[in-house]
A and B are shown apart, each in its own frame.
Chain A
């Protein structure tokens, strides 16, 4: 089976609330992780990445947390907006070197209610 998975397939939040999307991975050798956002009919859009030598990284309204002890990755979106409604994927790279190949989870559908 896939080594990257998601705890919740769907998440519904109110506009203005914070959202947390979770991802579990099973391979302790994974050294690089990416979160993507995919809106209906569009390609995945890069949101934020994190390397395994970090446990937290912040972007604009988004934070990724990495817990290597329990092999868990989360994406936090602050002050969620209707435009954040989309499917969110986590992806992991297994193996070293710059020529990585990503393995993707199936995604979580985030719905933001106005």
Chain B
């Protein structure tokens, strides 16, 4: 069955390190999204992509970057991890005009 996966599921890192979170979907969806989820804030959009080589900033994009070199993957990179980036990160994908589906999440702790 088609699916969306994230790795790692849990990550502990130190302040200042570069971290990359992987997102992979097998639905061949054009549209992919990264969110962070924090208590009191709900899901907030970090970056999104509408297709290969397309990337866009969301509402909380500072300190994050993405690249889209193929349809299946949208890795999220934290250039220099900060304690404020401790959160649960969710990737999502959607076909054009279709429903949006989420991955299982990555819990990131920055010490």
* Cβ contact within 8 Å between A46 and B42: no
Q: Residues of A with Cβ closer than 8 Å to B?
A: 2, 34, 36, 41-46, 49, 89, 98-99, 101-102, 104-107
Among the stretches B62-70, B76-84, B97-105, the one at the interface with A is: B97-105
* Cβ contact within 8 Å between B103 and A43: yes
Q: Residues of B with Cβ closer than 8 Å to A?
A: 31, 33, 40-43, 45, 48, 50, 58, 90, 96-97, 99-105
Q: Could you say which residues of chain A place their CB within 8 Å of the CB of B43?
A: 44, 89, 104
A sample of 13 cross-chain residue pairs with beta-carbon separation below 8 angstroms, ordered by A number, consists of A36-B102, A41-B105, A43-B90, A43-B102, A43-B103, A89-B43, A98-B96, A98-B97, A99-B50, A99-B96, A102-B45, A104-B43, A105-B42
* Cβ contact within 8 Å between A99 and B42: no
Q: Could you say which residues of chain A place their CB within 8 Å of the CB of B104?
A: 42-43
* Cβ contact within 8 Å between B101 and A99: no
Partner of B101, one of A46, A89, A106: A46
Q: Could you say which residues of chain A place their CB within 8 Å of the CB of B90?
A: 43-44
Q: Could you say which residues of chain A place their CB within 8 Å of the CB of B42?
A: 2, 89, 104-107
- Smallest CB separation, B75 vs chain A (Å): 17
The A/B interface has a contact count, at CB < 8 Å, of 40
- Smallest CB separation, B31 vs chain A (Å): 7
* Cβ contact within 8 Å between A106 and B105: no
- Smallest CB separation, A34 vs chain B (Å): 7
Task: Given the known inter-chain contacts A43-B104, A44-B90, A99-B50, please indicate yes or no for A106 contacting B97, CB distance below 8 A.
Answer: no
Instruction: Give complex CA distance A101, B42 in Å.
Output: 15
- Smallest CB separation, A108 vs chain B (Å): 11
Q: Could you say which residues of chain B place their CB within 8 Å of the CB of A42?
A: 104-105
Instruction: Give complex CA distance A56, B57 in Å.
Output: 34
Given contacts A89-B42, A101-B33, 11 further A-B contacts (CB under 8 A): A2-B42, A34-B100, A43-B90, A43-B104, A43-B105, A44-B90, A46-B100, A46-B101, A98-B97, A105-B42, A106-B42
Task: Given the known inter-chain contacts A89-B42, A106-B40, please indicate yes or no for A99 contacting B103, CB distance below 8 A.
Answer: no
Instruction: Give complex CA distance A98, B40 in Å.
Output: 29
